[in-house]
Amino acid sequence: MEKMSEQRWLPLESNPDVLNKYAYGLGMPQSWEFVDIYGLDPDLLGMVPQPVKAVVLLYPINEKSESQPIGSVKPNEKIYHIKQTIGNACGTIAMVHTLANNADQIQFEDGKPFQKFLEATLELSPAERATYLEGDKGMGSAHEDIAQEGQTQAPSRDEKVSTHFVALIDKDGELYELDGRKDGPVLHGKTTPDTLLQDAVAVVKQFMARDPDELNFTLMALVRKG
Ranges under pLDDT 70 in the chain: 1-5, 150-161
User: Do residues 128 and 121 touch, judged by C-beta distance below 8 A?
Assistant: yes
Residue 164 appears among annotated catalytic residues: yes
Q: What is the pLDDT of residues 140-157, one digit of tens each?
A: 999 988 887 755 544 444
Running DSSP on this structure, what letter comes out for residue 8?
A: B
Q: Nearest-CA neighbor of 18 among 2, 41, 36, 37?
A: 36
Q: Which of 81, 90, 143, 188 is catalytic?
A: 90
Indicate the angle between helix axes 113-121 and 16-26, nearest 10 degrees: 70
User: Do residues 97 and 53 touch, judged by C-beta distance below 8 A?
Assistant: no
Residue type, 127: A
Please say whether the structural domain 16-224 has been given the CATH code 3.20.20.140: no
Distance, in Å, from the CA atom of 157 to the CA atom of 132, rounded to the nearest integer, reads 20
- The whole-number pLDDT of residue 150 equals 57
- The whole-number pLDDT of residue 7 equals 85
Task: Give the burial class of 111: count Cβ atoms within 10 A of its Cβ; 0-12 exposed, 13-18 middle, 19 or more buried.
Answer: exposed
Residue 188 appears among annotated catalytic residues: no
- The whole-number pLDDT of residue 2 equals 56
**Phi, psi values for residue 190, rounded to 5°:** -85, 155
Q: CA–CA distance from 2 to each of 107, 155, 197 (Å)?
A: 31, 24, 30
Q: Which of 81, 97, 164, 188 is catalytic?
A: 164
Q: Nearest-CA neighbor of 172 among 201, 198, 186, 193?
A: 193
- The whole-number pLDDT of residue 157 equals 47
Distance, in Å, from the CA atom of 115 to the CA atom of 207, rounded to the nearest integer, reads 32
